[in-house]
């Protein structure tokens, strides 16, 4: 079967379709920051490592686009950069990096005229984020504070779980007279931002460094820069996203959940710097706000998702909303705006992953600046379309379908389920190491991406529709979508597969056990198999309660057991490949061990568990990602196309 697999890939490669080898080398733009005058854009370009040479994370390089000359220049291409920013009052860009001889992540500066980057500031510990004073002479940054370690006569020290947690704090340093002082903010600081006149700072902080507290307990604090003391706090209990000072420094706009049960930070709020309860804008918006920037003291520019589409627009403090740019074929992931309202944004389409675009004020179309993968233009890609269908209870559901490059008769289908479930698929590039996308289309599969109930992008009410009903109507929506495709798109009902990671892995396990008669193959990644043990081994138990289960497991153990794939493992007939990072703290690898053991012991169904040492909740390193892609596609080829009952070999060739 392995021989036949590579013959098939050779034939498809002759047609220039996308393969796992191609996906492993895809480059893309991750972030863009435009200068205040709008003349230059600093952006980051991700370049993956060759999986055949080194199992390592991708490099993220720094480039600058000059709008006046319409040229792009490489600034840093020999090590990774992060936290890029134009330094106020200086003709330079700053960024954080950890070079070979650095003891921790430090702050570097490079002139816009080019040359060698110089280390500007190094703290005792790594700088995780920072913000410049408006005149560029003072730096506020987030880092850990060094603590003295207790001496011990023991030859080793055991680790005490969730004890002696390291907290991040905010520090200020004067670059003209490097003396560091700490702000008096309780808890674990996550971000900091100066106000426009440099007299105050806004700091977001959680009660502790626990991930659960990050999701459920962050607040915004206003700090007097001269005294380092808190003068006010914003009273809002919900998930917290980005925040921005108004130009006059009197208000702060921030993105957050509507309330503590909102699963995503997708609403816009306005708070006075005196603190208190904030005002929500466009409370009934049937979408999700993804980013904000102040246009003037009374108007925000926003990036929003509405279903599978994204848009840019303005939102007045009076609630008046106006969308000024939307391209249904372009999915925008982030933007940056200059003082003259020129916008640099990162976006992707069905034909390419993230690239840099510039939108001029009042323009109706954006200019694409980068082409990171010119070879993609020679690849034959499957047609991509948005599909809408009715769930069994009448609720309208959106999804995206990628058609096979070559269709012959009824088509095998791979269903890709997103995690969260507080996430959604946009109508853009949908191929990655763990998402079959155009790899599947090139292999003759249709690939389906359903935005089931509980997904984001359609307002708070829709995002809450799955709460208290894990694996219930939310996953029924997926099956309803498959039935719709069988009826309308020539899908072979006997050749349906499913894959997904995290909550999508939960869905995969559920389909391979509870609904096993419907699925001929499954590839589960970092997924949930036992809701009871999941609660006790996850790093987000309170978040799970507030925005997912809405009741405690000890109040109804039987309910949570019956919503667990292991409960139905004895009936599984779906060949299941299980993939998991050994260092995953979000979904403990024990979840995969449990499902594997149940299926292996209680059935004769083909099942395999593959663990990735050094990886967590998803693979970050090149060879681990490539191995994942090869195993996933080989599994679907074996059981959906070749109709084999023989499990593939344990090894894959990386050549």
Residues 518-532: tens digit of each pLDDT: 999 999 999 999 999
Strands 240-245 and 230-234: unpaired
Between CA 596 and CA 589 the distance in angstroms is: 11
Q: Looking at residue 150, what is its pLDDT?
A: 67
- Is the peptide bond prior to 356 cis by the omega test (within 30 degrees of 0)? no
Strands 288-296 and 299-306: antiparallel
Tell me, yes or no, whether 459 lies in a domain: yes
Tell me, yes or no, whether 370 lies in a domain: no
Tell me, yes or no, whether 274 lies in a domain: no
| Band of residue 155 on the pLDDT scale cut at 50, 70, 90 | confident
Output the CA–CA distances (angstroms, integers) from residue 518 to 84, 303, 389, 638, in the order listed: 48, 39, 19, 17
Residue 186 Cα to chain centre, angstroms: 28
Tell me, yes or no, whether 7 lies in a domain: no
* 409 phi-psi bin (left φ>0, alpha ψ -120 to 50, beta other): left
Tell me, yes or no, whether 56 lies in a domain: no
Mean pLDDT computed over 244-259: 98
Between CA 396 and CA 416 the distance in angstroms is: 19
The CA dihedral of 605, 568, 483, 264, to the nearest 10 degrees, is -120
The Cβ of residue 554 has, within 10 Å, a number of other Cβ atoms equal to: 9
Q: Looking at residue 14, what is its pLDDT?
A: 54
Output the CA–CA distances (angstroms, integers) from residue 272 to 127, 228, 253, in the order listed: 29, 19, 9
> Three-class SS of residue 519?
coil
Q: Looking at residue 148, what is its pLDDT?
A: 65
pLDDT over 80 at 7, yes or no: no
Query: 473-488 vs 503-513: helix axis angle to the nearest 10?
Result: 70
Summarize pLDDT for 362-396 with one digit per residue, the tens: 999 999 999 999 999 999 999 999 999 999 999 99
Between CA 289 and CA 310 the distance in angstroms is: 10
Please list, in sequence order, all residues whose beta carbon lies within 8 angstroms of the beta carbon of residue 278, skipping any fewer than 6 positions away.
234, 235, 236, 254, 269, 270, 271
Output the CA–CA distances (angstroms, integers) from residue 416 to 471, 482, 492, in the order listed: 16, 11, 17
Closest CA to 456 of 501, 416, 429, 426: 426
Tell me, yes or no, whether 5 lies in a domain: no
Q: Looking at residue 409, what is its pLDDT?
A: 78
| Band of residue 276 on the pLDDT scale cut at 50, 70, 90 | confident
Q: Looking at residue 149, what is its pLDDT?
A: 66
Domain count, the chain: 1
Q: Which of 160-164, 228-232, 351-355, 440-444 comes out lowest in average pLDDT? A: 160-164
Between CA 258 and CA 264 the distance in angstroms is: 8
CATH of the domain at 551: 3.40.50.1820
Q: Which domain holds residue 637?
A: 379-641
The Cβ of residue 541 has, within 10 Å, a number of other Cβ atoms equal to: 16
CB distance 499 to 632 below 8 Å: yes
Tell me, yes or no, whether 390 lies in a domain: yes
Closest CA to 352 of 378, 385, 326: 378
Tell me, yes or no, whether 243 lies in a domain: no
DSSP classification of residue 297? T
% of the chain exceeding 70 in pLDDT: 97
Summarize pLDDT for 42-75 with one digit per residue, the tens: 999 999 999 999 999 999 999 999 999 999 999 9
Strands 576-581 and 521-525: parallel
Q: Looking at residue 5, what is its pLDDT?
A: 41
């Amino acid at each position: 079967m392995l021989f036949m697999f590579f013959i098939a890939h050779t034939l498809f490669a002759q047609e220039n379709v996308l393969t796992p080898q191609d996906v492993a080398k895809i480059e893309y733009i991750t972030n863009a920051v435009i200068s205040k005058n709008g003349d230059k854009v600093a952006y980051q370009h991700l370049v993956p490592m060759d999986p055949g040479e080194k199992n390592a994370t991708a490099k993220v390089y720094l480039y600058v686009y000059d709008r006046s000359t319409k040229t792009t220049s490489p600034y840093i291409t020999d090590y990774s950069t992060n936290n890029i920013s134009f330094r106020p009052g200086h003709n330079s860009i700053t960024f954080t990096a950890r070079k070979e001889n650095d003891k921790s992540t430090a702050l570097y500066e490079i002139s816009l005229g080019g040359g060698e980057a110089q280390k500007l500031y190094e703290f005792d510990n790594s700088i995780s984020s920072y913000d410049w004073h408006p005149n560029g002479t003072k730096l506020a940054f987030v880092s850990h504070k060094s603590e003295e370690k207790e001496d011990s006569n023991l030859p080793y020290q055991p680790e005490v779980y969730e004890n002696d947690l390291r907290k991040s704090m905010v520090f200020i340093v004067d670059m003209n007279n490097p003396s560091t002082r700490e702000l008096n903010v309780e808890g674990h600081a996550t971000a900091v931002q100066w106000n426009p006149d440099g007299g105050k700072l806004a700091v977001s902080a959680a009660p502790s460094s626990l991930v659960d507290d990050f999701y459920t307990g962050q607040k915004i604090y206003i700090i007097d820069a001269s005294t380092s003391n808190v003068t006010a706090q914003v009273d809002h209990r919900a998930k917290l996203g980005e925040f921005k000072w108004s130009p006059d420094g009197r208000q702060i706009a921030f993105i957050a959940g509507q309330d503590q049960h909102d699963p995503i930070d997708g609403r816009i709020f306005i708070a006075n710097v005196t603190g208190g309860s904030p005002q929500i804008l466009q409370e009934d918006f049937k979408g999700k706000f993804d980013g904000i920037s102040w246009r003037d003291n009374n108007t925000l520019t926003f990036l929003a998702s509405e279903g599978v589409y994204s848009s840019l627009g303005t939102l007045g403090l009076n609630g008046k909303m106006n969308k000024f740019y939307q391209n249904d074929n372009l999915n925008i992931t982030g933007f940056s705006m200059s003082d003259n309202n020129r916008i640099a944004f990162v976006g992707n389409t069905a034909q390419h992953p993230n690239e840099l675009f510039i939108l001029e004020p009042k323009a109706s179309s954006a200019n694409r600046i980068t082409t990171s993968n010119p070879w993609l233009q020679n690849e034959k890609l499957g047609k991509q379309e948005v599909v809408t269908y009715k769930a069994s209870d009448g609720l309208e559901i959106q999804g995206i379908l990628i058609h096979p490059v070559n269709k012959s008769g009824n088509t095998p289908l791979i269903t890709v389920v997103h995690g969260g479930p507080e996430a959604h698929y946009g109508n853009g590039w949908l191929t990655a190491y763990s998402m079959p996308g155009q790899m599947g289309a090139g292999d003759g599969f249709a690939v389906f991406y359903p935005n089931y109930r509980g997904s984001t992008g359609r307002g708070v009410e829709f995002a809450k529709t799955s709460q208290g009903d894990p694996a219930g109507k939310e996953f029924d929506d997926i099956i309803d979508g498959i039935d719709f495709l069988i009826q309308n798109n020539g899908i072979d009902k006997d050749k349906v597969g499913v894959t997904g990671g995290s909550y999508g892995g939960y869905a995969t396990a559920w389909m391979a056990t509870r609904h096993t008669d419907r699925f001929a193959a499954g590839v589960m990644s970092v997924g949930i198999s036992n809701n009871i043990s999941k609660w006790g081994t996850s790093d987000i138990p309170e978040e799970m309660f507030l925005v997912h289960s809405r009741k405690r497991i000890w109040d109804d153990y039987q309910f949570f057991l019956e919503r667990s794939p292991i409960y139905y493992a004895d009936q599984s007939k779906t060949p299941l490949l299980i993939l998991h990072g050994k260092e995953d703290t979000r979904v403990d690898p024990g979840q995969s061990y449990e499902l594997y053991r149940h299926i292996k012991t209680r059935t004769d169904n083909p099942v395999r568990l593959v663990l990735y040492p050094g990886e967590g909740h998803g693979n970050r390193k090149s060879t681990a990602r490539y191995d994942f892609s090869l195993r996933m596609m080989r599994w679907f080829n074996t059981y959906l196309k070749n109709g084999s009952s023989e499990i593939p070999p344990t090894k894959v060739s990386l050549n």
